[in-house]
Structure 1
Amino acid sequence: MKTMKLLAGLMTLTLTMAVFAPFKAEASEAREYAVKAAYLFKFMNLIEWPNEEKISNFAIGVVGPGPFGPSLGDIEGKLVRGKPLRVVTYPMVKSPAPTEQMILFIDRANDAKLEGVLRDLKGQNVLTVGESKEFAERGGCINLVTVKNRVRFRINVDAVRRAQLKISPRLVKIASVLVTDSGKKASYDDYKDILAQNLDEEPIQN
């Protein structure tokens, strides 16, 4: 039992180091998106979806061919709270519509589609993640940003609430900033109702 706990702890530490380790400015795009893929997997473990006990799997969707290369394939099939993770590519969001209990990643190349994507997702339990400028302030849930060669992220708490999702307090602690739709920095009162209390993922060290 102790050996299993040690292995689990080492796996968590390895993934955490991969996510938060800085990458050199001259590093390849492949390295950048390997880090971002690790972030998506970490987000999946720190978000609580409505009625997730009734689903058979979780999913990460990508609008368009996406820049990830093999990185998402490396996490496909991993378990999230005992359920397998699948990866789906959407040439267009409406064909087919994203399923619930998923993360949908929108890269820079598809930034012009953001307003339409968010409109199509209205009422669905989908966590939108993007990397374009002011993605969170424009209504996306989580904005991945690069600061001093480290990938960080911003959370729009109003967007998370619209998707009817709950976020782990651990995710709040490691976010670079939490904002509201108005662009102001979110206070505890702005997000206390969307905090999840039952996620048992190992703590992440920043």
Structure 2
Amino acid sequence: MSFRRLLNRLFYCLAFAITFSPTVSAEGFKPYEVKAVYLFRIANFIQWHNESSMDSVQFCVIGNQKVADTLISITNGKSIRSLPIRVQQTISPECNITYLSDVERGSIETELNSNDVSPNMVTISDTLNFTELGGVIELTRINNKIKPKINLTNAKRGNYIIGSNLLRISIVEGK
């Protein structure tokens, strides 16, 4: 089986599981594959206030090369509400979804407070207590399953809306 066919199969299996179950089991898939699919699926449940003027949905992946490579592969040729998807490995104000992984806690706090963070940016990480540091979504592990934890207080600072279907399957904190 070719690498591309394997990734497509992985993408569709995980997309189905994420869409129809509250948590995704990491069994049988590499953690970075599960996280990459989660990033893509989460973006489908975010609606940006300036979406009509956006020319793409920009993912910025900082720290984990395997997540970035997998995300590039599974989003190749795909779009979100007719907007093409772009993936880069630097943080900039153009980022709509920024994923921070394998980054030291102090570096995360620096990134979240930098001028590169815009109100259009949804910040996501698998770092423990990420939402307490000011991040919006933490991919947390519960019983060997990944589940999103969303901090509504942090999310309300942004120029976007998190869809109710994503909130329904997430651990929600803040008001």
Range of TM-score over shorter length = 0.7 to 0.9
> 1:66 maps to what in 2?
65
- Name structure 1 gaps, 5 residues minimum: 1-10, 181-189, 191-206
Structure 1, residues 87-125: CA drift from partner, whole Å, max 9, x if none? 0101xx4xxx2315x100000334321111111145431
> 1:80 maps to what in 2?
80
Task: Answer whether contact 1:67 1:107 (CA < 8 A) is retained.
Answer: no
> 2:8 maps to what in 1?
none
Percent identity of the aligned residues?
Answer: 25
Task: Answer whether contact 1:106 1:114 (CA < 8 A) is retained.
Answer: yes
Name which one, 1 or 2, has greater alpha-carbon Rg.
Answer: 1
> 1:108 maps to what in 2?
102
Q: Does 1:136 align with 2:131?
A: yes
Q: Does 1:50 align with 2:49?
A: yes
Structure 1, residues 33-76: CA drift from partner, whole Å, max 9, x if none? 11111111111110011211111110110124534263112224
- Name structure 2 gaps, 5 residues minimum: 1-10
> 1:119 maps to what in 2?
113
User: Residue 136 of structure 1: SS of its match in structure 2?
Assistant: helix
Structure 1, residues 154-188: CA drift from partner, whole Å, max 9, x if none? 0011111112220111011000x2112xxxxxxxx
The one-letter amino acid of 1:147's match is: I
> 1:187 maps to what in 2?
none
Count residues in correspondence.
160
User: Residue 140 of structure 2: SS of its match in structure 1?
Assistant: strand
Q: Does 1:89 align with 2:124?
A: no
TM-score, normalised to structure 2's length?
0.81
RMSD over aligned Cα, in angstroms?
A: 2.3
Comparing 121-130 with 138-147, greater Cα deviation is found at 121-130
